[in-house]
A and B are shown apart, each in its own frame.
Chain A
């Protein structure tokens, strides 16, 4: 059994959800599997809807995929330098303990 990686989501209201997922699972999938509110992920990870927007902690690099960069312009809440689509971030050991901030709205 692979060790799971622990991450957290903090909602715009300050509520925190501690969750874990297998390496290779995306941050979006981890949120969905744990029923974290505030991640819609309508398209299921195809980078086609911008409804899994998160503000990433330090240590998670900025988006470099051109689709993701373009999609972030259309996220429902404010785009910031650390904005990412959580379907494009895979869990890896370096993310242990990472806290992702959720935007106020996704749609």
Chain B
């Protein structure tokens, strides 16, 4: 039997299975999912699905017959207990699966805070989390969000739309500290406040008052007291690395270390998606990315490697977040020492912040500026000098701000211009 065993049926694992078949992989594929539902898109859990605009089946990654039709044995509700690289088996609660190639796509779990073990405290990572949070989002209820990151702010926006009263408590002195520049944090903070979200920056929760196993109110480090009907903890994630590390795989940045071919340090064991850490060529730095882009592209990359068609993984990372009327889109990753150029008018609600380091385009952060985002995904990492002053004019296409590098293969006369 052996073939491929993929542990984890999130976006990365499902993409790997699908791409293996598309690439003509003929061996058995077994896809193990810990959740007992069909694989789904995660981003809508904090947005359209949480708001009740989409039913769970509308956010499925594949149709109900997909796996059967493509010869993929999908095993929902199954947890991998251990991986043994010597015998090349994945051990389950009952029995084990032998593999030629194992792909670990176990993702990341929501981090919980100590002292918040109450019935009305939620995290949001999977379908079950989303359905129980959705049940609790009743109009007029008071929601306290701990953490001003993407999950916290997306839930805050959805909850406001549903008519809840919302407080967001963020330890740092601005929102989304790790993901976006300060000027954009400020804009997003203002938009949330204009929509009635109360944002508490530089504050932490010092005390909770509970009744009957439920938090009734919280007290902040700045002395403010907030009544709470429910609390969402949105303080980031922890990669699910146990299966790999117990088998002896190397780690970095809290994730499973993989090379450009998605190989872990164990033979014939690959890892993809949120659980991985790797060297990103475009920034020259080691990173751990949690995104649809990374899940999908690493899923494709590992299939290419296993079928012998793959090159090295070299993406431009991109992300998005929808909050109120803001379509926030980001391409590239920030680098130390870089500068920012504003492109477009902030008051118009459609603009980009262009991050450059010398004459190199590093990243672009867009609010309702889809063309800037899509163009920057193609431009970042391309050779040539990027002219940031030209980029400050929103009427100049971003593409025109990158001077084409001199083509060294061209005849000299073509470079010199006019004939003598």
A-side interface residues, number (CB < 8 Å): 21
Given A42-B296, A70-B374, A71-B374, A48 and B63 contact (CB-CB distance below 8 Å): no
Tell me, in angstroms, the Cα distance from A9 to B121 when the chains sit together.
45
Contact with B along A27-42 (1 / 0, CB 8 A): 0010011110000001
Measured between alpha carbons, how far is A40 from B320 in the docked complex, in Å? 17
Q: Which of A34-84 contact B (CB under 8 A)?
A: 34-35, 42-48, 50, 66-67, 70-71, 73-74
Q: Mark B60-71, 1 if CB is under 8 A from A, else 0.
A: 111111100100
A25 at the interface (CB under 8 A from B): yes
User: Which candidate, B41-49, B180-188, B233-241, B264-272, is the interface stretch facing chain A?
Assistant: B41-49
Out of A26, A44, A67, A73, name the residue touching B43 (CB < 8 Å): A44
Q: Is the CB of A70 within 8 A of B370?
A: yes
Shortest CB-to-CB span from A90 to chain B, Å, is 11
The reply to whether A33 and B64 contact each other, CB–CB distance below 8 Å, is yes
The interface centre, meaning the residue of A35, A67, A71 with most chain B CB atoms within 10 A of its CB, is A35
Q: Which range holds the interface residue count of chain B?
A: 20 to 34
A contact residues around B292 at 8 Å (CB) = 42-44
Given contacts A33-B57, A35-B62, A35-B65, contact A43 B374 (CB under 8 A): no
- Give A67 to B327 CA distance when docked, in angstroms: 9
The chain A residues found within 8 Å of chain B, CB to CB, are: 25-26, 29, 32-35, 42-48, 50, 66-67, 70-71, 73-74
Q: Could you show 20 A-B contacts with beta carbons less than 8 Å apart?
A: A32-B62, A32-B63, A33-B60, A33-B63, A33-B64, A35-B63, A44-B59, A44-B61, A44-B292, A46-B43, A46-B47, A46-B322, A48-B327, A48-B329, A50-B374, A67-B368, A67-B370, A71-B370, A71-B374, A73-B374
